[in-house]
Amino acid sequence: MSVTVRIPTPLRPFTDQSAVVAIDGDTVGQILERLAARFAALRPHLFAPDGSLRQFINVYVNDRDVRSLERERTRVQPTDTVSIVPSVAGGAATSDAGAPIAPPLSHDEVKRYSRHLIMPEVGVEGQQRLKAARILCVGAGGLGSPAATYLAAAGVGTLGLVDFDVVDVSNLQRQILYGTPDVGRPKLEAAAERLTALNPEVRVVLHETRLTSANALQIFADYDVIVDGADNFPTRYLVNDACVLLGKPNAYGSIFRFDGQASVFAAKNGPCYRCLYPEPPPPGLVPSCAEGGVLGVLPGIVGTIQATEAIKIVLGMGETLAGRLLLFDALTMEFRTMKLERDPACPVCGDRPTIRALIDYEQFCGIGPDASPGTGPGGGMGADAEISVDELKARLDRREPVWILDVREPNEFSICRIPGSTLIPLASLAQRLAEVPSGPDAPEIVVHCKSGVRSAKAAALLRQHGYTRVKNLAGGILAWIGRVDPSQPTY
């Protein structure tokens, strides 16, 4: 019997861009095995080398997580839908009953928030709760921009922002807090100016620092709700663990290309991010927005959902996303909600937690200096496996035999390229190895992508298939343009 399998955007390059696939099978395990057999490039993204399902991949049958059923042994029917939900990374929660009540609203505030005040679900008391609330946005980028904008407009009394970046022109496609004149300015400086102009009644608190295990608990302690707009896995796990340890609800959101996710973690008796994704994917396996791209309006949709959840938590009204995972597909304009249960064995929020203090999250995610060999994107390749753009340029000038392999996507290749390079996208490289020169007389292969992450994976794949003279171009084509050929555009 045939079962419908929904493929998320990050995995579609490995299924010939198919969003929906029909697979025959009686159990979830059979379905996944046959899916991987049909699309060989998909297998390493679903299964670990020992054949087990990767822990940063969740599988749902209809709206039920198979971990709460019989895992891979879960039986399926022809009417069922199996959804694969990778990391890209209950009931209504209530605000802190001990939170201070704000003084009465001024006449100007009554006029400003009049559309709230005439709603019986909000009213004067609800607006006072918002005025007394303290909400922290982790990240002032794609998700933090819309979230902070609407939270300020709604009248949240204290709005904290954590970021240490500067505005880049590539941010302007989606980060609506900033304009062209802000390019080069610290993000928090520009954000505070914009938010204060939007609503001078809001107190904007700036934390211009990298969020770390050393400062997270101290920063979070002064806030009622945390809005997670992080763009990397170490920070996601750090935010989650800090929220659980402090008992702070976490309005979570993540985005990639056309897909978005949202939930509320660390609510009372509810699941946390680790219940959904017990461990992070290996570095480089899941591309960032900088590598894979994101539809400009997508963070606006997901970020406003996060702001909505934060406001509901403060007001103590409605039903939040605690215990549910909201999935959004902009290509099909479809929202789906999956059930999410707290894992009793979770090391942070479970019945017998083993993590009682913040840890080294870069090491946990395999990208720190002490990470285990083989956990990085190049599979543990040493420095001798890389080549600098200056060295590559010198070798080309000497007309030495070098075969340059570009593993980006065709749309990226059309923006800029290294002269003489050959394009084979990473997702199809395993099936197109016959096009890669081999044999004793074959030239050395230099692999590149945008910044070096995907090409490190490609170089490791080539080595696994017997290619010994392979080097990864450090910094990718961005480094090439920056140091060798500035006439080409960057992206």
Sheet with strand 444-448: strands edge to edge: 386-387, 470-473, 444-448, 402-406, 422-423
Whether the CB-CB separation of 342 and 336 falls below 8 Å is answered with no
- Which residues, 6 or more positions from 113, have their beta carbon under 8 angstroms from its beta carbon? 105, 127, 154, 155
- End-to-end CA separation in angstroms for the chain: 45
3-state secondary structure (DSSP) of residue 405: strand
Element (H, E) at 477: helix 476-483
Dihedral pair phi/psi, residue 310, rounded to 5°: -65, -40
Q: Which of 272, 275, 289, 349 is catalytic?
A: 289
Q: Clarify whether 275 is annotated catalytic.
A: no
Query: What's the rounded Cα separation, in Å, for the pair 57 and 44?
Result: 11
Paired residues of 265 in beta bridges: 250
Residue 99 DSSP label = S
- Which residues, 6 or more positions from 119, have their beta carbon under 8 angstroms from its beta carbon? 126
Query: What's the rounded Cα separation, in Å, for the pair 100 and 133?
Result: 8
Count of CB atoms within 10 A of residue 368's CB?
14
Paired residues of 5 in beta bridges: 21, 82
Entry field: residues in the chain: 491
Whether the CB-CB separation of 20 and 7 falls below 8 Å is answered with yes
Q: Which of 137, 346, 349, 449 is catalytic?
A: 449
How are the residues of the chain apportioned to helix, strand and coil, as percentages rounded to the nearest 5? 35, 20, 45
DSSP string, 32-90: HHHHHHHSGGGHHHHB-TTSPBPTTEEEEETTEEGGGTTGGG-B--TT-EEEEEE----
- Which residues, 6 or more positions from 306, have their beta carbon under 8 angstroms from its beta carbon? 143, 147, 227, 228, 229, 251, 252, 253, 262
Whether the CB-CB separation of 274 and 346 falls below 8 Å is answered with yes
Provide the token pair at 407.
């593993």
Paired residues of 404 in beta bridges: 446
Q: Clarify whether 416 is annotated catalytic.
A: no
| DSSP β-ladder status, 57-61 and 81-86 | antiparallel
Active-site residues, by number, are 289, 449
